[in-house]
Structure 1
Amino acid sequence: MFRHSQLETVKAWLAHPAHTAMPLHARIQRAIRQLILDGALGPGKPLPASRALAKSLGVSRDTVESAYAQLHAEGFIERRVGSGSFVAEMTEFAPGHRRSRRDALLRNQAPNLSKRGNAMFRGGGVREMLMPRPFAHGVPDTRGFPLQLWERLERQVLKETGTLALLHGDPQGAEPLRRAIADYVNLERGARATADRVLVLTSSQQAMTLCANVLLDPGERIFIEDPAYYGARKAFDAAGLECVPVRVDRQGILVEPILATPNRAKAVFLTPSHQFPTGATLALDRRLALIEWAAGHQAWIIEDDYDSEFHYAGKPTACVQGLDPNDRTIYTGTFTKSLFPGLRIGYVVLPPQLVQPMTVARTLLDGHTASMAQLTLARFMEGGHFGAHIRTMRGIYAQRLAVLSDLVRRHLSDFVDPRVPIGGLQMPCVLTCEISERAAIEAARRVGVELTGLSALHAAGDGKAGFLMGFAAYTPAELEGAVRKLATALQMVRMPA
């Protein structure tokens, strides 16, 4: 007979919401099987008679008999005529308490990973907040997205394509979307793109992973901005590359260290339109110098144009790819920042000779991007809705940046110096008080405010302490409330104990 605790375990299994979709006999069978696997019912132990168990559980005897029959068929129990049902003698099965100890040991044991696996694990991945709170950076406002329009376009796509939209898609990306992307980057970013040079991906992070693994071998070097976007550095580290940091000033990455040792690396990673995190724009003479360096040394320029749509002062500069006549620049973009993170669509504009190798390599990662989302986005862009949405959000974000910079000057002037950018979705602030960056971030988190430290973005370790404050996803009232909370939290840290 079951002990009281074992009977309660079976009852809990039957009532658990996650199991209610299963037939009743299957739930009983799974519950008893788990008791056996956990060692709570050891080999040779008798099971309750089907009639008695049925009465205890409030089910029919046939239901329990069906559960016992399945357990017998799977070898978990033995049924003896005239004696009843017993847990089978499974000598190869470790009792639960031994298994628990073994699992605990395995959890604490260093995993036997490859060098690349270790690099990925140690890097900590790139994690985004599921429900962002002020001042999470790089997050657009999704509350203003024209959802009803999107739904209507999606219905149109489904009506016209039918079940074709449910099949595997082209690994290079749906042709209508590739055409729309090419038209957009040519017009708005001064690129040199055609539909057959566009590769649609799930994110710019995937683009960097592809570049790192297809263009360079483990141990080879890549020049990278310092400070730099952490997602890029982690992608390159995980691929076994050696990142060579190159300092950034107010005109972008310094080219002198690259030109002085031109063969030191086979590629350079840039955010030239709006450097992350400083907001600097790469000067034209430096762009041209890097294009010449790449051509002369058969190197690659990886250009990340992550939020160029949101430029608040003057016209944005043309992308490097559009200036490069030698096809040594790989241009990456994403709709995560311009539309919404859940869309999961990014892209690269590739030199012609890389289209096939990159597309084949992409099939080894995830096959293709979801067709419905691609075709809906293509309609959204072709109908002029993308441009209209960008113009609307650009105005909203510019207002929110102005609000945040004013709030920081009014409430946080004793703690930080804001560096107001000319574009993007976040504002860097440099700490000017005795509070450490770590203490500031921890104090902010305690009051429900999210900050990203600046110093960790500097590979050389000599960056000024401070943090990024994202503003795009938050209303002026939300920004004010969060700034006031942050001011109080920092004041508490600074007060003597």
Structure 2
Amino acid sequence: MPKTETFQDLVLGERKTHQELWRWLYTELRSAILDGRLKAGTRLPSTRNLADQYGLSRGTVVAAFDQLREEGYVSSELSAGTFVASAPAAKEDTVPKWKVAGKTTSRATLGRHTKGLFNPSFVLPSSRSIGMAFRSYEPAIDLFPVDLWARVAARVYRNAPRSLYGQGDPAGYQPLRRAIAEYVGRSRGVKCIPEQVVVTSGAQQALDLLARLLLDAGDEVWMEDPGYPGASQAFHAAGAKVIPVPIDSEGLQVGKGIELGPRARVAYVTPANQFPLGTVMSAKRRVELLAWAVRSGAWIIEDEYDAEYRYFGKPLASLHSVDASGSVLYVGTFTKMLFNALRLGFVVLPERLVETFERARSVVDRHPATLEQAVLAEFITEGHFGNHVRKMRQVYAERLHSLTEAASGRLAENLEVEAAAAGMRTIAWIKPKLSDRVVAERAARFGLEVVPISTFTAQYKQKPALMLGFAGCNANEINRGVEVLEKVFRTIGQ
């Protein structure tokens, strides 16, 4: 090892508050070695001299040198001293073009299949406020019974056996699986036993896992168009070929799906409240879809994210409730029903898929948070969840009425706001010949959150429209939002 370099005084960075002295010195010396200020072969001063030079104790310097030696940055020779470790030096003519001023930039890239995969509009902003018009993804957080939830949580945490602090079941906490099975059986007609329920970190994780398990690269998947982007992105990520299938007044056009994707292995549908149009799949289409699945050996993923909130007519049974073949995989979530931060959802599976899904669930993140599951299980079994849903159904109906009333008075010339039959958001059709994206962008300048319907279309164009959420904002905020939209239309073109 050449030892021609001499140690120069180093300008050391400022020590961070509460940072140990030896770790500070070690970090500064390591940085000097990595960025070339201390070159390979440089002899370092003795620990005593370095301690005197920087006003440190000798023990502090010894500890820093020991760490550098352990990690291979320096080496020591008996009676010779401590030296910066050597590294192969590159010849000038072999230095790559991407090496600039002694520093290198990684050339590692993403996999080719990720190009153009993710839709930036699908990434929701973190909540710095709640209750703003017209967020389509936010329930009435202002009305969630926080004190009640806190009391249940405190009791669960206080009385939980120590086993709940250990490794959890990848399929979920058994009492919660039992509570979910009983609830969806009673409210949605889903016939299942607790062992068929697997708890996930929200509906999105359920869709992601189903896509990985059911599909091989190149497999065809029917996707509602317009439709939920989280589902299409999960299918794309699995390497599937997504086949957009148009929606009409009866829901997914099954015949068109057969024509466009005859070899499809999966169909994704939101039959109770189509996302984003709000269409209800007719009984005829449901029969056609189930018959196709049995005939083709295909799966149907039924996503019921907010079907509990229905304002007109009788409650609709789930597609799963009329499936005698075991073709329907039922996905649900508590995020929309309770609050966004509760990242808990579930999927109801045929028994033959449960073990495989559990293993896949374990690979992703081992298991869902057990203590949160225990709190939710108690919240459901004690009747609080059902009470909250019933209360919110009434509140959301009133907020929807506030929106349609305010819009009919101030936006009649520009928007036709539908009185949604179900869910937490509605469609507002734009009457003037304007792009819905232009309207949404202008609204954003005024601090208003609206979503253009065109962001959910893949192939089949819709009339320009906005998706307006009404569940998370009270009547005053709804009126403010309508006033802002009125201003938006008045200023477009100016």
**Bucket of the pairwise TM-score, normalised by the shorter protein:** 0.7 to 0.9
1:303-382 matches, within 5 Å, as 303-382=302-381
Q: 1:28–1:426: structure 2 CA closer, same or farther, 3 Å change rule?
A: farther
Aligned residue for 1:14? 16
Q: Does 1:190 align with 2:189?
A: yes
SS of residue matched to 1:348: strand
Aligned residue for 1:401? 400
Q: 1:91–1:357: structure 2 CA closer, same or farther, 3 Å change rule?
A: closer
1:164-313 matches, within 5 Å, as 164-258=163-257, 263-313=262-312
SS of residue matched to 2:161: helix
How far does residue 414 in structure 1 lie from its aligned partner after superposition?
4.0
SS of residue matched to 1:478: helix
Q: Tell me how far apart the structure 2 counterparts of residues 406 and 292 of structure 1 sit (CA, whole Å).
A: 42
TM-score (norm 1): 0.85
Q: Does 1:25 align with 2:36?
A: no
1:422-433 matches, within 5 Å, as 422-433=421-432
Q: 1:222–1:411: structure 2 CA closer, same or farther, 3 Å change rule?
A: same
Q: Tell me how far apart the structure 2 counterparts of residues 168 and 489 of structure 1 sit (CA, whole Å).
A: 53
SS of residue matched to 2:477: helix
Question: Any conservation in 1 of the 2:436–2:464 contact (CA below 8 Å)?
Answer: yes
Residue of structure 2 aligned with 1:129, choices 111, 125, 129: 125
Aligned partner of 1:50: which letter?
Answer: A
How far does residue 203 in structure 1 lie from its aligned partner after superposition?
1.7
Q: Does 1:51 align with 2:52?
A: yes
How far does residue 154 in structure 1 lie from its aligned partner after superposition?
2.5
Aligned partner of 1:492: which letter?
Answer: T
Q: Tell me how far apart the structure 1 counterparts of residues 101 and 300 of structure 2 sit (CA, whole Å).
A: 51
Q: Tell me how far apart the structure 2 counterparts of residues 61 and 160 of structure 1 sit (CA, whole Å).
A: 52
Aligned residue for 1:163? 162
Gaps of at least 5 residues in structure 1 are: none
Aligned partner of 1:28: which letter?
Answer: L
How far does residue 317 in structure 1 lie from its aligned partner after superposition?
0.5
Q: Tell me how far apart the structure 2 counterparts of residues 367 and 33 of structure 1 sit (CA, whole Å).
A: 36
Larger mean CA deviation between 26-35 and 337-346 belongs to 26-35
Aligned partner of 1:90: which letter?
Answer: S
How far does residue 314 in structure 1 lie from its aligned partner after superposition?
2.6
String of CA shifts for 1:183-239, please: whole Å, max 9, x gaps.
111111111121111111112112222222222222121222111111111111111
How far does residue 42 in structure 1 lie from its aligned partner after superposition?
4.5
How far does residue 339 in structure 1 lie from its aligned partner after superposition?
1.0
How far does residue 73 in structure 1 lie from its aligned partner after superposition?
5.1
Question: Any conservation in 1 of the 2:22–2:61 contact (CA below 8 Å)?
Answer: yes
Question: Any conservation in 1 of the 2:51–2:57 contact (CA below 8 Å)?
Answer: no
How far does residue 93 in structure 1 lie from its aligned partner after superposition?
8.2
Q: Tell me how far apart the structure 1 counterparts of residues 37 and 108 of structure 2 sit (CA, whole Å).
A: 29
Question: Any conservation in 2 of the 1:119–1:238 contact (CA below 8 Å)?
Answer: no
How far does residue 98 in structure 1 lie from its aligned partner after superposition?
8.0
Aligned partner of 1:412: which letter?
Answer: L
How far does residue 70 in structure 1 lie from its aligned partner after superposition?
3.7
Q: Tell me how far apart the structure 2 counterparts of residues 80 and 490 of structure 1 sit (CA, whole Å).
A: 78
Q: 1:237–1:60: structure 2 CA closer, same or farther, 3 Å change rule?
A: same
How far does residue 377 in structure 1 lie from its aligned partner after superposition?
0.8
Q: Does 1:111 align with 2:109?
A: yes
TM-score (norm 2): 0.86
SS of residue matched to 1:438: helix
Gaps of at least 5 residues in structure 2 are: 1-7
Aligned partner of 1:327: which letter?
Answer: G
SS of residue matched to 2:199: strand
Aligned partner of 1:249: which letter?
Answer: D
How far does residue 391 in structure 1 lie from its aligned partner after superposition?
1.3
Q: Tell me how far apart the structure 2 counterparts of residues 82 and 263 of structure 1 sit (CA, whole Å).
A: 79
SS of residue matched to 1:332: strand
1:137-156 matches, within 5 Å, as 137-156=136-155
Residue of structure 1 aligned with 2:84, choices 79, 84, 88: 88
Question: Any conservation in 2 of the 1:197–1:349 contact (CA below 8 Å)?
Answer: yes
Q: Tell me how far apart the structure 2 counterparts of residues 247 and 434 of structure 1 sit (CA, whole Å).
A: 23
Instruction: Please state which structure has a larger fraction of its residues in helix.
Output: 1
SS of residue matched to 2:277: coil
Query: Over aligned residues, Cα RMSD in angstroms?
Result: 3.1
Q: 1:33–1:339: structure 2 CA closer, same or farther, 3 Å change rule?
A: same
Identical-residue share of aligned pairs (%): 32
Q: How many positions carry a matched residue from both structures?
A: 475
Aligned residue for 2:473? 474
String of CA shifts for 1:30-78, please: whole Å, max 9, x gaps.
2342343234555538789433423xxxx76754564455445545457
Q: 1:242–1:261: structure 2 CA closer, same or farther, 3 Å change rule?
A: closer
Q: Tell me how far apart the structure 2 counterparts of residues 304 and 273 of structure 1 sit (CA, whole Å).
A: 9
Q: Tell me how far apart the structure 2 counterparts of residues 41 and 447 of structure 1 sit (CA, whole Å).
A: 54
Q: Tell me how far apart the structure 2 counterparts of residues 397 and 45 of structure 1 sit (CA, whole Å).
A: 74
Q: 1:277–1:125: structure 2 CA closer, same or farther, 3 Å change rule?
A: closer
Q: Tell me how far apart the structure 1 counterparts of residues 387 and 102 of structure 2 sit (CA, whole Å).
A: 59
Larger mean CA deviation between 186-195 and 458-467 belongs to 458-467
Question: Any conservation in 2 of the 1:53–1:64 contact (CA below 8 Å)?
Answer: no
Q: 1:477–1:35: structure 2 CA closer, same or farther, 3 Å change rule?
A: farther
Aligned partner of 2:33: which letter?
Answer: I
Question: Any conservation in 2 of the 1:119–1:240 contact (CA below 8 Å)?
Answer: no
Q: Tell me how far apart the structure 2 counterparts of residues 492 and 82 of structure 1 sit (CA, whole Å).
A: 82
Aligned residue for 1:491? 490
SS of residue matched to 1:364: helix
Q: Does 1:450 align with 2:449?
A: yes
String of CA shifts for 1:112-132, please: whole Å, max 9, x gaps.
5153x4575x55594222116
Q: Tell me how far apart the structure 2 counterparts of residues 177 and 432 of structure 1 sit (CA, whole Å).
A: 47
How far does residue 307 in structure 1 lie from its aligned partner after superposition?
0.6
Q: 1:66–1:275: structure 2 CA closer, same or farther, 3 Å change rule?
A: same
String of CA shifts for 1:350-380, please: whole Å, max 9, x gaps.
1222222222222222221111111111111
Q: Tell me how far apart the structure 2 counterparts of residues 41 and 485 of structure 1 sit (CA, whole Å).
A: 61
How far does residue 334 in structure 1 lie from its aligned partner after superposition?
0.5
SS of residue matched to 1:224: strand
Q: Tell me how far apart the structure 1 counterparts of residues 214 and 61 of structure 2 sit (CA, whole Å).
A: 61
How far does residue 301 in structure 1 lie from its aligned partner after superposition?
1.4
Q: Tell me how far apart the structure 2 counterparts of residues 103 and 442 of structure 1 sit (CA, whole Å).
A: 41
Aligned residue for 2:3? none
Q: Does 1:38 align with 2:40?
A: no
How far does residue 27 in structure 1 lie from its aligned partner after superposition?
2.7
Larger mean CA deviation between 438-447 and 230-239 belongs to 438-447
